[in-house]
Amino acid sequence: MYSKFWPKGGLPGRLHHYTESLVTFEYTAAAARKPHSLIFVGGLGDGLATTSYMADLVKALNPTEWSLFTLNLTSSYQSWGLGHLDRDTNEIAQCIRYIKEYKTETFGEGKIVMMGHSTGSQCVLHYLHRPNPHTTAPAFDSGLEHTDRLPLDGAIMQAPVSDREAVQLCIEHGFGKNSPSQMKEICDKMESIAREAVGSGGSYDTMLPLELTSAIYPSNTPISCRRFLSLYSPESPHIPGEDDLFSADLSEDQLASTFGLIQQQGLLKHKLMVLYSGADQAIPGWVDKEKNLARWQKATNHGEKFEIWDDKYSAIIPNASHALSNDDQAEPRKFLVEKVMGYLGEAVAK
């Protein structure tokens, strides 16, 4: 189905191969001078240019020296159920290194900012706080080769939501044709299957039955037991899964081990900007968004010891849906673009 947010006839740009099989598309006019780069990473199910508000960002960036990159990862589109954050951020690091070399050769030194939407926010935080390079060697992804991650001149997270809380919301209210009790039964069954498969310690992923996963996730999307447990995180809040970075019930110590390590890793030259969608469908009503932002800010800044959190541009976007894609989202999209443009202006001046 054609998206009304993207102009008919398309937008000009260049397609780049940053590996032999992975590409990134740069929105830019042929003769434009664009030394600075905004690299956009979507969420679960996203791929090249699938997040509609990118069209607003492309338009706003057009008269500036910034170009916007959208990229595909091994986990893009329907492959997210087989992915994991180490692989995602390794591939993002390869893309950033390619863009850095390409832009420097073409225009001289420029700035690079990474922006993540939804699970793309998990990639941003994972990129910034994990050991560099990654140190894990998962048996289920034995061919994974870790790469050094370059420092970023800025980082933006938009719609950082908890997948665990989103599933809890489905259980509480029911989802699709399934009642709350039916959703609870389905999730319990998936958890049981997943625990047994992961506990067997095999070298390969085991897939959950599609008849179960389709009750929550898009139909015909393969989801491994391992990735489901990472997202569903049944041991949380005491032992959160790898993907459980933004749940409201995580402890101060747990936030200190993620947000709190950004300064120590030294991969962020400017500040961290976070935009919460005020009417995000994936966030339960019991979650206090203002309190979440304040806790993340405190953890990032180590209280008031550092000033890594961008307090000027971080915000809750009034009335914004998760991806700002509804027909009533003109004002939220304008708000988002103004915040991003202000942040990028200060990142250049840094």
Q: What's the domain range around 319?
A: 13-162+247-349
**pLDDT tens string 70-117:** 999 999 999 999 999 999 999 999 999 999 999 999 999 999 999 999
Q: Of 204, 232, 260, which marks where a domain is finished?
A: 232
How many CB atoms sit inside 10 A of residue 211's CB? Answer: 9
Calculate mean pLDDT across residues 176-189. Answer: 96
What's the start-to-end Cα distance of the chain, in Å? 42
**pLDDT tens string 8-27:** 878 889 999 999 999 999 99
Quick check: 270 and 154 in contact, CB under 8 A? Answer: yes
- Model-level pTM? 0.96
Whether 183 and 116 map to the same domain: the answer is: no
E-only strand ranges, 47-102: 66-71
For residue 122, the cross-strand partners are none
49 in a structural domain: yes
Quick check: 68 and 48 in contact, CB under 8 A? Answer: no
26, containing H or E segment: strand 23-27
Whether 85 and 99 map to the same domain: the answer is: yes
Calculate mean pLDDT across residues 54-70. Answer: 96
CATH of the domain at 258: 3.40.50.1820
**pLDDT tens string 230-254:** 999 999 999 999 999 999 999 999 9
Residue 300, judged by CB atoms within 10 A of its CB (0-12, 13-18, 19+), counts as buried
65 residue type, one letter: E
Whether 42 and 155 map to the same domain: the answer is: yes
Whether 110 and 221 map to the same domain: the answer is: no
- What letter would DSSP give residue 78? G
For residue 224, the cross-strand partners are 207
Whether 33 and 59 map to the same domain: the answer is: yes
226 in a structural domain: yes
Domain count, the chain: 2
Reply yes or no on whether the pLDDT at 217 is more than 90: yes
**φ/ψ (deg, to 5) at 330:** -60, -45
